[in-house]
Chains A and B, each alone.
Chain A
Amino acid sequence: MRELVLVQPQHTASLARANSAEEALRQEFEALLPESGRLAYRIARSILRNDADAEDVAQEALLRAFRRFAGLRDRMRFRAWLVRIAYRIAIDRVRARKRLQQREAQWFQERERLASGGGRSTGDFPAQLEAAIEDLPEKLKLVLLLSAMEGHTTEEVAALLDIPAGTVKSRLFFARKELAEKLQCFAKPIKNA
């Protein structure tokens, strides 16, 4: 049996309409790109702490957002949508990286841990801070990161995450408190520095 395809001879007008709609959509997305690109990159960078990986994740998040951009009815929600996409991709990548590390280099990590004195070094505050942020629960982590981004007020973070402003404040409070407890050993040296 021969395979048949459906051919529509007079569809140039509809094609032109589709092309113009696509072009309009692309232009709309282009206008959002500079600010959205920075936002996606910052989220990815703060989760992954690696420039190249963050760039890849930001690009993937933006492309994924673009592919579904036409289906987004409320364009005001675009940033919140992008935050969730970028965060989810970055977290997935961190988990995949961890699984890979655990599978392939468990012995190496153990050796490194022993070499560093059986625990985290207490000498490097930025590294310890990054590790402490990584250990935070996801809800607290995202609120902390978004709140620390330039120009984000509590209300904006609440809008981005679709949660009440009071919840943002309490999550931020608990996130900072948890970080402070983990970094308590730096309190005195920081004060004296």
Chain B
Amino acid sequence: MFCEAYQERLKDAACGGGLEEDARAHLASCAACAATLAEEQALFAAIDNGVARIVNSEAPPSLLPRVREAVVRKRVAPRGFLHGWLWIPAAATVALVIALFLPRGDRHGVLPPVQSVQQPPFGAQTPAAPFRASAPSLIQMPAQKTRRGTSAHSVPVEVLVSTQEDAGLKQYAAVLRTRRDLAKALISSSASSSMEIQPLEIASMEWPELSIKPLAEDKNGFAK
């Protein structure tokens, strides 16, 4: 036990704090305080060793392979401004733009007309649910020339397809990837059976004879 007058200062000194001149002088003259200080310092050393032993444990060798494996499996969240809650206003803006401009563009003929309507061919991999004939299955946007003369296909074209058709197209592509012979046969058949484009026939316009008749006048001389 430290002497009352020096207790706090000697405790701080044991903990690693500095010791003032008068406390040092007291320590030199008081054997009890010197012994207590030695005990306290030993206790602090034991605490430091114990904490270091607890803290500096080696990571098991299985940790890093586990993390690497999990990292490979997981996709990285893309860097960009649309993270967190920001996608909500962004999606709302996109929806608003679509709602505002899509019907207007359609009315005034801004959007290009639907050029072709195709249904992906299905063989044995036809899905159970049949396609409805009423709705278009695939809308292809026509290639358009820009002012600079470059094709509009140089920029990515986005089309809307149904989920069924999307799945069907993916299935079709997968079949073609595995069945190279089938793909070659399809390409060669499409190449051989070249589409015959009928020449345009422009029908002559019939202009009826115009007859000009004078307007009848009332008694004041105005046209009726």
A-side residues, CB < 8 A to B, are 2-11, 14, 18, 21-22, 25-26, 29-30, 33-34, 37-38, 41-42, 45-46, 49, 51, 54-55, 58-59, 62-63, 66-71, 125-126, 129-130, 133, 144-145, 148-150, 173, 176-177, 179-180, 183-184, 186-188, 190-191
B38 to chain A, nearest CB (A): 6
Known: A10-B157, A33-B64, A69-B76. 16 other contacts (CB 8 A): A2-B162, A4-B160, A6-B159, A7-B160, A41-B60, A42-B56, A51-B60, A55-B60, A59-B63, A59-B67, A130-B54, A133-B51, A148-B48, A176-B47, A188-B39, A191-B43
Contact between A176 and B15, CB atoms less than 8 A apart: yes
Asked if A66 contacts B71 (CB within 8 A), the reply is yes
CB atoms of B59 and A63 under 8 A apart? no
Interface of B, helix, strand, loop or mixed by DSSP? helix
Query: Residue on A with the closest CB to B162?
Result: A2
> Which residues of B, 50-95, contact A by the 8 Å Cβ criterion?
50-60, 62-64, 66-68, 70-72, 74-79, 83
Q: Which residues of B contact A66 (CB under 8 A)?
A: 67, 71, 74, 76
Contacts A49-B54, A71-B79, A133-B54; A2 near B44 (Cβ below 8 A): no
Are the CB atoms of A191 and B78 closer together than 8 Å? no
Q: Contact at A176–B16, with CB atoms within 8 Å?
A: yes
A22 touches B46 (CB 8 A): no
A11's closest neighbor in chain B, by CB? B156
- Chain B residue contacts of A184, Cβ below 8 A: 43
Q: What is the CB-to-nearest-CB distance from B75 to chain A, in angstroms, rounded to a whole number?
A: 7
Does the CB pair A63–B71 fall under 8 Å? yes
In the complex, the chain A residue whose C-beta lies closest to that of B166 is A5
Tell whether, in the assembled complex, residue A180 and residue B43 are in contact, meaning their CB atoms are under 8 Å apart: yes
Q: How far is the CA of A149 from the CA of B51 in the complex (A)?
A: 9
Interchain CA distance A59-B160 in the complex, whole Å: 41
Q: Are B77 and A187 in contact (CB under 8 A)?
A: no
Give the complex CA separation of A26 and B70 in angstroms: 12
Does B31 interact with chain A (Cβ within 8 Å)? Answer: no
Residues of B within 8 A of A18 (CB): 78
Contact between B15 and A38, CB atoms less than 8 A apart: no
Residues of B contacting A67 in the complex (Cβ-Cβ under 8 angstroms): 74, 76-77
Q: Which of B51, B52, B74, B78 has the most CB of A within 10 A?
A: B51
17 pairs of residues in contact across A and B, judged by CB atoms under 8 Å: A3-B163, A4-B162, A4-B163, A22-B75, A22-B76, A25-B76, A38-B58, A54-B57, A59-B70, A63-B74, A66-B74, A71-B77, A129-B50, A150-B56, A176-B48, A184-B43, A187-B42
Residue numbers in B under 8 Å from A45 (CB-CB)? 54-55, 57
Whether B56 lies near A148 (C-beta < 8 A) is: yes
Q: Chain A residues near B79: list those with CB within 8 A.
A: 21, 70-71
How near does chain A come to B81, taking the closest CB pair, in angstroms? Answer: 10
A46 x B156 contact (CB < 8 A): no
